[in-house]
Amino acid sequence: LKVVVIGLGYIGLPTAAVIARTGAQVLGVDVSPSVVDTINSGKVHIEEVDLDGLVSGVVARGDLRASTVIEPADVFVIAVPTPFGPDHVPDIAYVLEASRTIAPVLKKGDTVILESTSPVGTTEQVRDLLSAARADLRFPSAAGDHPDVAIAYCPERVLPGRILVELIDNDRVIGGITPRCARQALSLYRRFVRGACVTTSARAAEMTKLVENAYRDVNIAFANEMSIVADKLDVDVWEVIKLANRHPRVNILQPGPGVGGHCIAVDPWFLVHAAPAETPLIRAARGVNDGKTRHVVDQAIALAEAHPDAAIACLGLAFKANIDDFRQSPAIEIVEALAARFGDRIRIVEPHTDRLPDPLARHGATLIDIDTALETCPVMIVLVDHDVFRAVPASERSGKAILDTRGIWSAG
């Protein structure tokens, strides 16, 4: 079996490597020559648990290669980003571009699978684009005739930091343009998925993915709203959540400094865009989570002003614990606002980087380690729950002024 994976990012590269481990011949295609060179030398350009060892192994065995140029294959997997543009309008340009590159090499019997989070109807758009480009092939339609090419949508659902485990263990939803397309796509996932593989329509699978992330966003918004209420009422929100979660049908998530990353803060907008009048709850949740970041900025400024001249340690820049991914990180937004105001009083601890993003350094903020922070900073702001911060004992932080947005040092 020959598989082409288009897009070698956080999803595409691990997926390509896992498929290659099953003995399939995998070609990873990416627009970036440096990403391609890195992978062909057996290395990785992203940090993810156990990914380096897996990639170096499958590259050394010749089962995974990377290129900027597509080749014919039996299965094509599209795993490119789907950001949103101005006014939160979903941007599927990369998906359509990837489809355009597939069109010339497509042949009878091939399977095309879209994994990128996409607005409902995108898989049909991929089909339309391919069918316009290749009048010599028959493409699937709801009418259920016998197409030459199968087209399906199978959303990725893996959690950064656990990608290789979840790629194998999570259930997969496989949505075909027709049931036959879904069955054909299923045979790829059967090679490496231990979880259940459930087949459905492409549109239902597309919406399922959006619903999963919108559900999480709404639930985090609830936790964040409760944290602001608890602050106002002078109650420890972490204790309240722990106590409420003892109820058999209550399971509140954790408040934080806002919602970051490239999924949970983005995908709900795809639903809002598709049905603006019908999604007040999803929109409100987005507002609450973004508002929580501004609330933390205000709290942090008040704390800094209450301790004039004190060095302020900001713990963490990543969008969540134990990863090196800073994309759409609320921590970055908060530290930027603080650095713009307090300049070289701001010290940043982020074990997952050795250099500060540009605006932070420009404002005079510096990168220090956790030991130095504990020795030299009377004010500490916890923005990310990295294990190394969690491990700081109460004795080492006594006497400090602390704003703990993740509740890692909460007595509750």
* 43 a catalytic residue: no
Question: Which lies closer to ligand SAJ via its Cβ, residue 73 or residue 92?
Answer: 92
Query: Does position 253 bind ligand SAJ by CB under 6 A?
Result: yes
Smallest CA-to-CA distance from 180 within 138, 154, 151, 156 is with: 151
Subset of residues 33 to 62 that bind ligand SAJ, contact rule: CB under 6 A: none
Judged by CB under 6 A, the residue of 29, 220, 296, 403 near ligand SAJ is 220
CB of 407 to ligand SAJ, least distance (A): 10
**For residues 204 and 10, what is the distance between their CA atoms, to the nearest angstrom?**
24
Query: Does position 79 bind ligand SAJ by CB under 6 A?
Result: no
Judged by CB under 6 A, the residue of 21, 127, 157, 386 near ligand SAJ is 157
**For residues 173 and 129, what is the distance between their CA atoms, to the nearest angstrom?**
23
CB of 317 to ligand SAJ, least distance (A): 12
Interface stretch with ligand SAJ, choices 93-101, 171-179, 251-259, 338-346 (CB under 6 A): 251-259
Subset of residues 297 to 336 that bind ligand SAJ, contact rule: CB under 6 A: 319-320
Query: Does position 216 bind ligand SAJ by CB under 6 A?
Result: yes
Question: Which lies closer to ligand SAJ via its Cβ, residue 160 or residue 176?
Answer: 160
- Number of other residues whose CB lies within 10 A of the CB of residue 112: 30
Q: Residue by residue, what is the 3-state secondary structure of 185-219?
A: HHHHHCCCCCCCEEEEEHHHHHHHHHHHHHHHHHH
Question: Which lies closer to ligand SAJ via its Cβ, residue 111 or residue 117?
Answer: 117
Question: Which lies closer to ligand SAJ via its Cβ, residue 12 or residue 160?
Answer: 160
Q: Which of 154, 181, 197, 209 is catalytic?
A: 209
Query: Does position 373 bind ligand SAJ by CB under 6 A?
Result: no
* 400 a catalytic residue: no
Query: Does position 158 bind ligand SAJ by CB under 6 A?
Result: yes
Judged by CB under 6 A, the residue of 89, 93, 132, 159 near ligand SAJ is 159
Which H/E stretch holds residue 306?
A: helix 280-306
* Cα–chain center distance at 215: 15
Question: Which position has the token pair 């800094």?
Answer: 304
Question: What is the DSSP-derived secondary structure letter of residue 9?
Answer: S
**For residues 91 and 175, what is the distance between their CA atoms, to the nearest angstrom?**
21
Q: Spell out the residues 6+ positions from residue 262 whose beta carbon is closer than 8 angstroms to its own.
A: 81, 83, 327, 328
Smallest CA-to-CA distance from 334 within 387, 374, 290 is with: 290
Query: Does position 261 bind ligand SAJ by CB under 6 A?
Result: yes
Which H/E stretch holds residue 350?
A: none
Subset of residues 117 to 146 that bind ligand SAJ, contact rule: CB under 6 A: 117
Query: Does position 269 bind ligand SAJ by CB under 6 A?
Result: no
Q: Spell out the residues 6+ positions from residue 52 whose beta carbon is closer than 8 angstroms to its own.
A: 43, 44
Q: Which amino acid is at 332?
A: I
Question: Which lies closer to ligand SAJ via its Cβ, residue 61 or residue 390?
Answer: 390
**For residues 211 and 323, what is the distance between their CA atoms, to the nearest angstrom?**
25
User: Which residues are designated catalytic?
Assistant: 209, 263
Which parts of this chain interact with ligand SAJ (CB under 6 A)? 117, 156-160, 212-213, 216, 220, 253-254, 256, 259-261, 263-264, 319-320
